[in-house]
């Protein structure tokens, strides 16, 4: 399976330990790992040493992201130890797009399938900007839209990309997205699309910029909200939370938090 860090144009975030607010909600703060320019053909000893340190930092940041994503998912599973059934579907959404929710959905699906041994299906339910077909090198159709329209079987849209990971693409549903989602809301995705004991990770459309964002968010049993720290306006965050009132929001990920270390100090590290 291609690595989640290979998504073109998407910056992988750096994760720090998520604080817990007084109300018990989990907030995961992240910072951007910047793409490094290609090194020159010949490096001095000092340049080579600095390049090794930079690469080591990037590798550490990616590993932190994976570890914190795993903890975040486990915290969702253990939120109610008395519950007879744990949530089988986890969706990532944001207010307006560009927050990095696809990257985090990919990361979570990769961790569940490759590191935790959980049989996982990654579902793309975003007809605004579908991109998973490019990431995995798959044909864009048939996908979820064609399956809901009964134009194909579930086996036709389930692409096994590794031993424990299956990908379901969005398909061509841009023109009738609302009708498709209304039909999906009447269905039980966990039973109709998944195999027994599978976990569903969903890349959802943005809540505010997609006309069907809130409708799509109702498909999953647990929601994670993704916002860009210092970029996403507060009124958009407030409006998104209002749109999702009453839905099972598990926490907010603050993506691309800028380092508080001055640039002149960072240059010495």
Q: Residue 254: which residues within 8 A CB-CB, separation 6 or more? A: 27, 28, 29, 30, 227, 228, 229
Nearest-CA neighbor of 71 among 111, 33, 110? 111
Cα torsion 39, 43, 49, 50: sign: negative
pTM > 0.85: no
- pLDDT tens-digit readout, 105-153: 988 898 889 888 889 999 999 998 899 999 999 999 999 999 999 999 9
Compare 77 and 37 and report the one with higher pLDDT. Answer: 77
Tally of CB atoms within 10 A around 219 = 19
How many Å apart are CA 117 and CA 44, to the nearest integer? 44
Tally of CB atoms within 10 A around 37 = 6
Are 256 and 228 in contact by the 8 Å Cβ rule? The answer is yes
Are 83 and 73 in contact by the 8 Å Cβ rule? The answer is no
- pLDDT tens-digit readout, 24-42: 444 444 444 444 455 555 6
Residue 216 banded pLDDT, cuts 50, 70, 90? very high
Options 3.40.470.10, 3.60.21.10, 3.40.50.300, 1.10.10.10; CATH for 86-256 is 3.40.50.300
Ranges of each domain in the chain: 86-256
């Amino acid at each position: 399976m291609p690595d989640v860090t290979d998504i073109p144009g998407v910056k992988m975030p750096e994760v720090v330990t998520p604080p817990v607010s007084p109300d018990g909600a989990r907030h995961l703060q992240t910072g951007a790992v910047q793409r490094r320019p290609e090194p020159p053909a010949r490096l001095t000893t000092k340049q080579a040493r600095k390049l090794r340190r930079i690469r080591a930092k990037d590798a550490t940041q990616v590993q932190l992201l994976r570890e914190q994503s795993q903890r975040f998912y486990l915290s969702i599973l253990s939120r109610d130890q008395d519950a007879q059934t744990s949530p089988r579907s986890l969706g990532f959404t944001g207010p307006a797009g560009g927050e990095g929710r696809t990257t985090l959905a990919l990361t979570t699906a990769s961790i569940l399938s490759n590191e935790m041994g959980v049989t996982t299906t990654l579902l793309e339910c975003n007809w605004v900007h579908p991109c998973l077909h490019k990431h995995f090198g798959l044909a864009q159709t048939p996908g979820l839209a064609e399956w809901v329209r009964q134009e194909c079987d579930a086996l036709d849209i389930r692409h096994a990309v590794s031993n424990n990971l299956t990908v379901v693409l969005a398909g061509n549903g841009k023109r009738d997205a609302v009708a498709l989602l209304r039909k999906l809301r009447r269905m039980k995705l966990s039973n109709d699309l998944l195999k027994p004991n599978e976990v569903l990770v969903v890349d959802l459309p943005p809540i505010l910029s997609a006309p069907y964002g809130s409708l799509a968010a109702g498909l999953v049993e647990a929601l994670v909200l993704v916002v860009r720290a210092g970029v996403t306006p507060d009124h958009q965050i407030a409006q998104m939370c209002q749109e999702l009132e009453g839905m099972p929001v598990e926490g907010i990920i603050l993506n691309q938090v800028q380092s508080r270390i001055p640039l002149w100090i960072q240059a010495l590290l």
